[in-house]
Structure 1
Amino acid sequence: MFNVGVIEEGAGRPGLGECLTGPVRTVWAKHDRATDGWLPLWRHMADSAAVAGLLWDRWLPGNVKALVAEPLPKGMDDARRLVVWCAATHDIGKATPAFACQVDSLADRMRAVGLDMPGRKQFGDDRRMAPHGLAGQLLLQEWLTERFGWPERATVQFAVIAGGHHGIPPGHSQILDLDAHPELLRTPGSSESLWRQVQTELLDACAATYEVRERLADWQRVKLPQPVQVVLTALVIVADWIASNPDLFPYFPEERPRGEAERVAAAWRGLRLPPPWCPSAPGGAVEELFAARFDLPTGARVRPVQEEAVRLARSMPAPGLMVIEAPMGEGKTEAALAVAEVFAARSGAGGVFVALPTMATSNAMFPRLLDWLDRLPPDGLDGTVPEGKERSVLLAHSKAALNESYADLLRTSRHTVAAVDQFGDEDRVRASDDVRSAAAELVAHQWLRGRKKGLLASFAVGTIDQLLMAGLKSRHLALRHLAFAGKVVVIDEAHAYDTWMNTYLDRVLAWLGAYRVPVVVLSATLPAARRRELAEAYAGAGRDAREGYARLVQAGGYPLLTAVAPGAAPEMALPAASGRRTDVVVERLDDGLVVLADRLEAELADGGCVLVVRNTVDRVLETADCLRARFGDAAVTVAHARFLDLDRAGKDARLLELFGPPGEDGTSPRRPGGGHIVVASQVAEQSLDVDFDLLVTDLCPVDLLLQRMGRLHRHRRSDRPARLRTARCLVTGVDWAATPVPAPVRGSRRVYGEYPLLRSLAVLEPLLSGPSPETAVVRLPEDISPLVQRAYGDDPQGPAAWADAVAEARRDHEAHRARQRREADVFRLDQVRRAGRPLVGWIDAGVGDADDTRAGRAQVRDGEESLEVLVVRRRADGTLTTVPWLGKGLGGLDLPTDAVPSPQAARAVAASGMRLPYHFSYPRVLDRAIEELEELCVPAWQVKECHWLAGELILALEDGPDGDCHTRLAGFQLRYSPTDGLRVIGDGAEKQRDV
C-alpha cells in the first residue's frame, strides 16, 4: 500500500542511536510493568522524529504545511526540519531525576553508570512540580540559551511545544515553581555534571541528526505565530501517540531487533494512516460539476445561487469565508460542498467538516456526505492517489456508532493496527481490504477514533458543539485545532445559534481565520448584524478596519453571497432568484384547543396535510390529545425531541416517507389522503424536507417563523385539495386582545424571550391587521430578508402604543445577552496573540478534559445541565429487557444483571437513550434524580466488555394498565409511549413546563 523503501529524508546519515554512547543509553522513556519491557529514551526520540517526518510527508494537508513554513526563513525545508526536531526533543524532560526515579529497576541501571537520583518516596510531592513536559521545556530553553546564545524570550515559543505535548501548555506559575527546584532536573552533587552532560548529549545529537544545528542561528530571529505553535504542538502529540504504541513500536527486549528504518517502516505499514484529500480544482461549467457530484432530479437545473457561489469561490483572491444566504430548498448544501471542493483545491485543505445544530440533523447529513465523497474523482492531476486509496470519514457526535451508515463503515473498516514487516505479515493486514466497501473507498479508520483523535479524519459531519469546543479552554485543544486547520469548515443553519453559542463561534472563527481555514456559512434567515459579526470575527478586523465591514449591514437583496478573503475587503454578490416562489397568506388564530380543532375540521373537509408547530413539548402533547379526540388517533402524529433515539429516528424517517418530495408526476402514493395532522415542536424547523398543505404555528422569532413556512407548499404537487391550494400560515399562541401589546403564551416567552417575540409581532402586524387576505401575504423568497432585517434591526417597529412595553422587553433582553456573553467568556479561549507570543498559559483556568463529554457540550450551549438516560423495561418479576416495541428484532431482549448482555441487546439499550427534560435540571431535583437512577447501577455492566452501558444512567420503565410505560423519578410521574414520547406528570410539571 505504501512505498516504504525510503522512510526518512537523508536516509544515508547515521541514526540517532549511532551518535550516542555511554550513560545516555541507559536513560529510559517507556516501561511495561507486565513484561518488564522497556524503551530507551533515545529510541523513543528517534521513533517520534521518524513518525513526525512521515506525518509531514504523507498525512499533513498542504495548507497546514504552508502555515508552518510561512514564518521560517527557508520555508518548507525549515518547516519539515522543525517538525521533526520538535518531535525528537519533546521528551527530553524524561532525562531528569524526577522522571527516572519512577521505576526502581531502570533507575538502578542509571545509578550504576553514575546518574544518581533519590528514590521516588524521597522526592515526595515535589515531583509533581516537574512533569516531564515542563521539565523538557526548561531544558530546551537552557540549551538554546547556553549553547547557541539565544535570548531567553526567543526560546519559549519553540520550547513550549515540548511543554504542552501532554495537552496543556505550562502556566507561568508552574514555570516559576520548577525554577525554584533545580534538584528535580539534575541531582545536586557529584552527578550533576553527568546529568547535564547526558541532557546536552541528547539535544546535541538531535540537532545534528535532524540537521537543525546550522539553522538555529536564523531561527532565533523568527517570531512563531500562535497558530503555528498550536499545530506544531498537535503534530508532536500525534507523533508521540503513534510512537508510544507498543503494537507499532515494540519495547525492548524485541524478538526480532530492527534497525531504525526497518522499525519505522513496519510501524507505518501497520498504521495505514490515510493520506489527505488532494483535489484538483474542478474546472468547466458549473452545470457539469453539479451533474457529476450530486444526484439531481431529472430535468433539474443548477440554481443561480449555486452557480454564483462556485464562480465567487473561483474568483476570490484567496479562499476565505463565504456566507450563503438563500431560501429554504435552494440547494445551499450542494452549493457548500461544491465551494468546499474549489476552496480545498486552491488552499491545500485536506478534508471537510460539516457542522449542524443537532445530532438528528447531523445523522441526516452523513449519508449525503458519503454520496458526495463517492462521486469525487481520484486525487491528483493524473487521476491517481499518491499513497493509498482510502479517505477517512467520521460522524462526530456522542452517539455516532448508533447511526446505521456510520456503523456500516465501522464494521467494514476494521483492521489490526500493528507493525507489519515489509515481507512478513502484509497479507494479514491486507485481508481486511476484501471486507471493506471497495466501491466507496471510505473508511472509519481504526486509529482515528475516539474523542481526541476522531476529528483528525479527513471528512466529518458533526454537531456544532464539535466546532464550538475549538474555542473552549480544554485539555488537548491543540489536537482539535489541528483537525480544523486542515479542513474546509461548513457551518449550516447559522441562524439557529443563540448569543451564548455565538460568543464561542466568533472566537472559533477568529482562530480559523488565523489558520486561513476556508469557511462556508449557510443560512436562509441571517440578520444583517450577525452577517457583519461573522465576517469581522473571521477577518480579525480591528477597530481601524471595521469601517469596511459596515456596508455588510446595509446590504440589500436576497439571495446574498458575502465573501471575505484574507487581507481583502469583503465582497458581495446578488445571484438572480431561481424562479421558485411561494406566496403565503398569514392570518391570526386565537389561542385555544377548541378554536384550533374547529378550524382544522373546516380546513380538512376535503382532506389535506397540516403541520401544527408548538414551542413547547407540553403544548405539543396537549394539542395532540385534543385533536385525537376530534379526528381520531390515526389522523394525528406527534414529533418532538423527547423520544428515545431509535424512536426519534423512526419518526423522522416516517415523516419523510409520508410528507417528503413527490414523484415526477407531482404525487406521493404514501401521502395520507383523508386528512392528517402532524403536531411538532421545533424539530420541524431544521433539515427535514417535508411538505404540508397548511401551517399552524405558535408565534416565534420571525426568522424561525420563516423556516417553518419553508415546510409549507415546499414542492409542486398535483394532489393538493382545492381548499388548500393557497399556502396559508395561521399564527397562534398569542392573546391578541391583551393590552398594551398582544401577549405571547408563557411557554413561548420562556423559550425565546419576550423581546424577540414582540419584534416578530411588530413586523408581522401590518400583514395581520391588513384590510383583506390579499394584503396579508408573505412572498417567499422576496420577503425573507426584509422581514428578518426589520425584526433584528434597531429601528422602531409596530404601533406607537407598543413602544414602552417593547422598550422594557428590550432592556431585559440586552441584560440577558450580556449575562450570556459574560458567562460564556469564563472558559472561552483568548484571542490570537501577536506573533512570537508563546502559548504559556494558553488554556489556564480551563475546564479540563472536556472533549465531546457532557460537561464540554454543556459549556458551549446555554442551558441547565440535563441528564441523559438509557431506557429499559422492568418486568413484573423485576427482570430487565430492552423496550418491547423496537424493530429489527431489538425489542424485548433479555438483559441479565449478573452478566454482560449480548452485543445486540447492549447496542439496543444504547440506542434507547433520551435526554430528560429540564424539570430534572434544577440542582435539588437533579441531585435527587441522579441518586435514584444510580440505584439501578448494575455492577456486571460496568466493565470494558460492556462499553455500550458502562457508566451510563439507566431508567427502568414498567408496563402500565393503559399500555404505556410508567415510572417515578425525583417526585415526578413519567409516562412513555412510542407514539407520544415522554410525558412528565405532577405538580412540579405544572410549575416547570418543559421546553
Structure 2
Amino acid sequence: MASRFIYILYVSGMTGEGGARLGLHARLGGPALSVWAKHERDSDGWLPLWRHMEDSAAVAGRLWDEWLPLSVRRLIAGELPGGEVDARRLVVWLAGVHDIGKATPAFACQVEQLAQVMRGHGLQMRSRQAMGADRGHAPHGLAGQVLLGEWLQERHGWTVKQAGQFTVAVGGHHGVPPEHGQIQALDGHPHLLRTHGPSRTLWKRVQEELLDACADEFGVRECLAAWRAVKLPQPVQVLLSALVIVSDWIASNPDLFPYFPEDVPRTGPERIAAAWRGLDLPGPWRAKEPVGDVQELFASRFDLPPGAKVRPVQEAAVDLARGMDAPGLMVIEAPMGEGKTEAALAAVEVLAARFGAGGVFFALPTMATGNAMFPRLLNWLDRLPAPEGTRYSVLLAHSKAALNDDFVDLMGKGQRIAAVDVDGFEEREWRPTSPTRSAAAELVAHAWLRGRKKAMLSSFVAGTIDQLLFAGLKSRHLAMRHLAIAGKVVVIDEAHAYDTYMSVYLDRVLSWLGAYRVPVVVLSATLPAGRRRELAQAYAGKATSETAASFDAVAQAGDYPLLTAVTPGGAPVMRRPAASARGTDVELERLDDDVDLLADRLEKELANGGCALVVRNTVRRVLEAAAALRERFGEANVTVAHSCFIDVDRAAKDAGLLDRFGRPGKADRPQAAHIVVASQVAEQSLDVDFDLLVTDLAPVDLLLQRMGRLHRHLRGGEEQTDRPQRLRQARCLVTGVDWSAPVPAPVRGSLAVYGAYALLRSAAVLLPHLDGGRERPVRLPADISPLVQRAYADEPDGPAGWAEALEAARARHEEHRADQAERAATFRLDAAARPGRPLFGWVAAGAGDADDTRQGRAQVRDSRESLEVVVVQRRADGSLATVPWLAPDRKGRPRAGLALPTDQVPTARAARTAASCGLRLPIQFSYADVMDRAIDELEELHIPAWQVKASHWLAGQLILPLDEDCQTHLAGFQLRYSPSDGLEVTRA
C-alpha cells in the first residue's frame, strides 16, 4: 500500500524532490506521467516510461562520449548535416523514444495494478485477457516504430520512406527489424495502439506529448526539418539500431537503474552518474600512430631474437598502412615463418590510429589456433603505449574460452561486473561495483561483456572465424555483431583455409566491412590469385571501367611475397617486397603407402637421431601409423597429435610440441630420434620445426603449409649443423597415394576429406619436383606462389594421360562448389541496399539465434553437426570422477580423479575440470541415425543435480563415462581413450 501511495504522489509531482520538476517529468502532464515501462514481478517495483526514456537517452549519451570508437562516430556523423553534434543528438533521441510503443493499450494492459492507475487518468483499455491473441500484432518495438513514424509524418511533414530509415531503430530494438507484413498486420488492428471510443484521443495526445517532450528535451526539434532530406545508408541504420539496443539493455537493469519507489529521491543526473560508475565500462582503444622506423616499432612491440632484423614484408606492411588515405583492405601474402602475425599487428596499430578504430578482432580458423593467438595478443597489448589508468576489455571468442587459463585470469580481474539480465536474454546475475573500489587491471575480461550477444563488443578479441562469419548470417541481434566489428580493425588469418561455403559468408561480411569503412588485414601463405581478387572485390565493391584493369592485375599477379591494398570503390595497389634472405630447398620424394615401408624409411633416416613429422589426412591413418612406428621406435619416441583428444589433453599436446620442437633457445629438443604423427592440426599456427617431413598428399597449398614445419628455423647456421648430418637437407616424402597407378590414386580417407580434383591438381603441379628428385627441389619461398597459382588456375594442368580423370573430378568438384554456394546463400545476409532504404525485413527468413555452439557453427561451416561430450570416468563402485591422468593446474592443485557426486552439485573445481575434458566425437557420430541413437544412449545418464544454475559447467552437457580401462560402447561403436593416442573408434 505504501509503494502505491508513493507512486500516486510521484505522478502528481509531489515527491521527495520537493516539487522540483526536472527533464521529461517537467514537460509532461498527469496522464503521460502515469504510463509505466518496467515492473518487477516479485515486488511492487516499477518504472514510469518517462524515467526509462531519460535513463536510456542518458546512457546513449555516455556511450557516445566515452565508449563508442571514433570510427563509428565519424561514420554516423558523416551522413548528417550537423556532423557529430547532430549524430550525438540522433543517437540520444532514438534511445530516448525507443519504448514509446509501451504507451499503448496492447502493452499497458499487462500489469493490471499499473493499468488501473492509467485508467484513473483517463487512459482506458481492455484487460489483457480481453485483448487476447490480437496483442501479438503489436509488440512494443513495432508499435513504437509506427507511432514515431506517424508523429514524424503528421507533425513534421516526413514521408513514410523518410521516416522509416530512422524509426526502424525503434522497431528493431529487440533484435529483429520488423517486416513489411508485420507493419501491415498492425495497420489492421488500430485499437492496439489507441482504444476505440472517447479515450482514443487522449491516448494519441499522450503519445504525442511524450514524443514532443523527447524532441525538446534531447534537442532534436530544430534538426528534424534538415534530417528529412537525409538518406541514411543501411550500415548507419544498423549502427543506430545497435546503439539503441545497448542503451536499452544497460538502462533496463534495476541494479544500475533502480525501480520506484526505491529511487525516488535521486535526480536524473545523480541516477545516471551512479549507474555509469557502477557499470565501469572500459573505453575504446585510442591508438596513437607510432613514429620512428619500423625496426624500432617491432623491437618495442615484439619478442625479437637478439640481432633480428625486420623482414621486408613486415616493413612493407607498415609502410603501406602509413600510406593509406582511407580505411581499406590489405592482403599480406608471405611464406610460413615470415612474421605475418607481427606484420599484421604493426599495421593494425597504424590503421587504428589513422582511422579511429577502437579495437581489434583477430579471426582464426579453429579454437586451437585462437587459443594459441590469445597470449600473443595479450603480450602485444602489454607493450602498447597507453596513458596511466587506461583499461581495455579483452575477449577470447569461442565456446570454450572459459576453460582457457589466460582468459580465466582476465575474467578474475574483471569480476566486479557481471552480466545484465536484459528482458530475459541473459541468465547470470549482475551486481554493480562499488564506486569506492580500486581500479581494475589494465586488461580485463569485463563481465558485462560476457553475454553471448555482447561479448564481441569487447575492444580486443581473438577468436574463431565463425564469430566473423556470423555477421553475414541472418540472425537475431545481428546489429550487435555489426556494431562489434564496425569499430575495430579486423585481421583474418589463414585466409586460404576457408572453403566455398565459408567464403560465401566471408565475402558478404567483407562487403559490409567495406561499407562500414573498417580496416581489414588478410593473411595467407598460400592464397590462390583468383581468391585474392575475390577478397579485394568483395570489400571494394563491383569493379568499374576505371578499376577493372587493376583487379585483373591482382588476379594475375604471381609475385611473392605480395601485398595488395584496396579501398571501397577504389582501384587495388600492389607492393612486392623482397623475400627475406633465408630460403629452403625441399627435396620431394614419393613414398609408397605402406606402414612397414614408412617404418623402414624412418629407421634409416633417423639412425643418428633427429625429429620427424608424419602428417596423415585422417585420424584413423594417424593411429595406424603411430602403432606401427611404436613397435619399431618404442612408445616414448612417438607422439600422436590429432583433433580427437579431450580439450585439456589437446592443449597439453600443443604446448608439448612447442616445448620440444619450437624455436631454438626456447625448446628442449629430444636428443634421441623422435617422431610426431599428426593430423592437420600440425598445419596451422604452431611454430614447430622438424628435420624430416612425411605427408599424405593434400591440396598443394596445405602441403606447402606442412612444409613450413620443415627446417623452419636455422639450427647451427645456414648449414644447419645442429641437425643430424643426414637431415641437413630438407626432405619431404609424399605418401597416401598409389603412385604406380596410371593416374595417382589417393587413399580413400584423403578423397573423403579433400576430393579427387584438389588432390590430382596438387599431384600434377608437384610432378616435376617428384620426377626430378634431387635435381628439382621445391624452393621455398620462391616456388610457393607458382605452385599454388598453377594448382588453382582455371584450366587443369597435368599429363595427357590424366585428362579424362581430371575432367571427371573437375565436374564433381564444380558441382560440389555450386551446391555449397547455393546452400550457404539460404541464410546469407543481403548486401547493403541503396541509401535511404529502411532495414525492414533485414533478417527475414533468417536462422534464428547465431551462437557459438555445434548447431551455430554448422550454419557457417559446411560440416555435419557434431556431437560434443564431457568425458568422465566411472569407477568400479559406480561413482563418477574426473579422468585419472590429468596434471595439476597452474596453482599446483590436483585435477585427476576429483569426485563428481551425482546427488549434489560437484565442487566448482571438479566441475570445471570435468568441463575441460570436452570431446568432439568424430564423423561416425554425425550421421543422423547414429547421432540420434548416440544422444538417446548418452541421455540415459541424466543427473538432475547437475542441471541446476549453480552447476553451470555441467548443466546441459552430454556426459560420456568411460570405465576403469577407459573404454565404453556408444551407438554400436567401441570407444577407447588414452592420453597418448586420444579417441579410437571401432565397430562394436
Query: Which TM-score band applies after superposition, normalised by the shorter structure?
Result: over 0.9
**1:189/1:426 CA distance change after superposition, 3 Å:** closer
TM-superposed CA distance for 1:553, in Å, is 1.1
Q: Give the conservation status (yes or no) of the 8 Å contact 1:638–1:678.
A: yes
**Secondary structure in 2 aligned to 1:431?**
coil
* CA RMSD after TM alignment: 1.5
Q: What is the aligned counterpart of 1:165 among 173, 198, 206? A: 173
Q: 2:11 maps to which residue?
A: none
TM-superposed CA distance for 1:981, in Å, is 0.3
**1:931/1:426 CA distance change after superposition, 3 Å:** closer
**1:97/1:255 CA distance change after superposition, 3 Å:** closer
**1:371/1:568 CA distance change after superposition, 3 Å:** same
CA distance in 1, matches of 2:374, 2:672: 34
Q: What is the aligned counterpart of 1:761 among 760, 763, 772? A: 763
CA distance in 1, matches of 2:443, 2:981: 38
**1:428/1:76 CA distance change after superposition, 3 Å:** closer
**Secondary structure in 2 aligned to 1:935?**
coil
TM-superposed CA distance for 1:151, in Å, is 1.0
CA distance in 2, matches of 1:757, 1:510: 31
Q: What is the aligned counterpart of 1:945 among 923, 946, 950? A: 950
**Secondary structure in 2 aligned to 1:769?**
helix
CA distance in 2, matches of 1:426, 1:971: 51
Q: 2:813 maps to which residue?
A: 813
Q: Give the conservation status (yes or no) of the 8 Å contact 2:90–2:220.
A: yes
CA distance in 1, matches of 2:172, 2:434: 37
TM-superposed CA distance for 1:878, in Å, is 1.2
The residue type equivalent to 2:316 in the other structure is E
1:448-473 deviation digits (Å, cap 9, x = unpaired) = 11211111011010000000000011
TM-superposed CA distance for 1:947, in Å, is 0.7
| Structure 1 spans left out of the alignment, 5+ residues | 1-11, 379-383, 420-424, 988-995
1:720 pairs with 2:723: yes
Q: 1:838 maps to which residue?
A: 838
The residue type equivalent to 1:677 in the other structure is I
CA distance in 1, matches of 2:778, 2:614: 19
Q: Give the conservation status (yes or no) of the 8 Å contact 2:256–2:275.
A: yes
Q: Runs in 1 of length 4+ with deviation above 6 angstroms?
A: none
Any residues of structure 2 matched to 1:184-333 within 5 Å, and which?
A: 184-254=192-262, 257-333=265-341
CA distance in 2, matches of 1:492, 1:760: 23
The residue type equivalent to 2:343 in the other structure is A
TM-superposed CA distance for 1:588, in Å, is 0.4
Q: Give the conservation status (yes or no) of the 8 Å contact 1:536–1:546.
A: no
TM-superposed CA distance for 1:717, in Å, is 1.1
Any residues of structure 2 matched to 1:568-587 within 5 Å, and which?
A: 568-587=570-589
Q: 1:431 maps to which residue?
A: 437
1:745 pairs with 2:747: yes
TM-superposed CA distance for 1:427, in Å, is 9.3
Q: Give the conservation status (yes or no) of the 8 Å contact 2:256–2:432.
A: no
Q: Give the conservation status (yes or no) of the 8 Å contact 1:357–1:464.
A: yes
The residue type equivalent to 1:913 in the other structure is G
Q: Give the conservation status (yes or no) of the 8 Å contact 2:419–2:447.
A: no
TM-score normalised according to structure 1 size:
0.94
**1:427/1:416 CA distance change after superposition, 3 Å:** closer
Q: 2:969 maps to which residue?
A: 968
The residue type equivalent to 1:918 in the other structure is I
1:60 pairs with 2:46: no
CA distance in 2, matches of 1:457, 1:31: 30
CA distance in 2, matches of 1:403, 1:602: 41
The residue type equivalent to 1:171 in the other structure is E
Q: Give the conservation status (yes or no) of the 8 Å contact 1:320–1:563.
A: yes
1:100 pairs with 2:108: yes
CA distance in 1, matches of 2:410, 2:871: 26
CA distance in 2, matches of 1:884, 1:519: 45
The residue type equivalent to 1:736 in the other structure is W
Q: 1:634 maps to which residue?
A: 636
The residue type equivalent to 1:403 in the other structure is N
Any residues of structure 2 matched to 1:588-607 within 5 Å, and which?
A: 588-607=590-609
Q: 1:496 maps to which residue?
A: 497
TM-superposed CA distance for 1:635, in Å, is 1.2
The residue type equivalent to 1:301 in the other structure is K
1:81 pairs with 2:86: no
TM-superposed CA distance for 1:284, in Å, is 1.1
The residue type equivalent to 1:635 in the other structure is N
Q: 2:426 maps to which residue?
A: none
Q: Give the conservation status (yes or no) of the 8 Å contact 2:550–2:573.
A: no
CA distance in 1, matches of 2:461, 2:857: 18
| Structure 2 spans left out of the alignment, 5+ residues | 1-19, 421-430, 717-721, 889-893
Q: Please, which moves more after superposition, 846-855 or 970-979?
A: 846-855
Q: 1:9 maps to which residue?
A: none
1:515 pairs with 2:513: no
TM-superposed CA distance for 1:568, in Å, is 2.5
**Secondary structure in 1 aligned to 2:959?**
strand
Q: 1:688 maps to which residue?
A: 686
Q: What is the aligned counterpart of 2:671 among 659, 670, 673? A: 673
1:68-97 deviation digits (Å, cap 9, x = unpaired) = 011111111110110001000100000001
TM-superposed CA distance for 1:224, in Å, is 0.4
CA distance in 1, matches of 2:263, 2:479: 37
Q: What is the aligned counterpart of 2:938 among 930, 933, 941? A: 933
1:412 pairs with 2:413: yes
**1:494/1:880 CA distance change after superposition, 3 Å:** same
CA distance in 2, matches of 1:788, 1:584: 16
Q: Give the conservation status (yes or no) of the 8 Å contact 1:69–1:79.
A: yes
How many percent of aligned residue pairs carry the same amino acid? Answer: 69
Q: 2:737 maps to which residue?
A: 734
How many residue pairs get aligned? The number is: 948
The residue type equivalent to 2:573 in the other structure is E
Q: 2:620 maps to which residue?
A: 618
Q: 2:858 maps to which residue?
A: 858
**Secondary structure in 2 aligned to 1:827?**
coil
The residue type equivalent to 2:282 in the other structure is P
CA distance in 2, matches of 1:556, 1:734: 29
Q: Give the conservation status (yes or no) of the 8 Å contact 1:13–1:209.
A: no
1:24-81 deviation digits (Å, cap 9, x = unpaired) = 1110000001121000000000100010011001110011001101111111111011
CA distance in 2, matches of 1:818, 1:584: 36
The residue type equivalent to 1:494 in the other structure is A
**Secondary structure in 2 aligned to 1:779?**
strand
TM-score normalised according to structure 2 size:
0.95
Any residues of structure 2 matched to 1:358-437 within 5 Å, and which?
A: 358-378=366-386, 384=387, 389-416=390-417, 428-433=434-439, 436-437=440-441
The residue type equivalent to 2:444 in the other structure is V
Q: Give the conservation status (yes or no) of the 8 Å contact 1:98–1:130.
A: yes
The residue type equivalent to 1:919 in the other structure is Q
**Secondary structure in 1 aligned to 2:399?**
coil
The residue type equivalent to 1:849 in the other structure is D
1:878 pairs with 2:863: no
CA distance in 1, matches of 2:920, 2:135: 43
The residue type equivalent to 1:93 in the other structure is G
CA distance in 1, matches of 2:560, 2:951: 53
Q: 1:8 maps to which residue?
A: none
1:589-629 deviation digits (Å, cap 9, x = unpaired) = 01111111111111111111110000000000011111111
Q: 2:30 maps to which residue?
A: 22
The residue type equivalent to 2:935 in the other structure is I
Q: 2:359 maps to which residue?
A: 351
Q: Please, which moves more after superposition, 636-645 or 118-127?
A: 118-127
Q: Give the conservation status (yes or no) of the 8 Å contact 1:455–1:483.
A: yes
Q: Give the conservation status (yes or no) of the 8 Å contact 2:279–2:433.
A: no
CA distance in 1, matches of 2:21, 2:260: 24
The residue type equivalent to 2:781 in the other structure is P
1:781-810 deviation digits (Å, cap 9, x = unpaired) = 000000000000023311111111101100
CA distance in 2, matches of 1:13, 1:43: 12
Q: Give the conservation status (yes or no) of the 8 Å contact 2:417–2:448.
A: no
Q: 2:6 maps to which residue?
A: none
**Secondary structure in 2 aligned to 1:53?**
helix
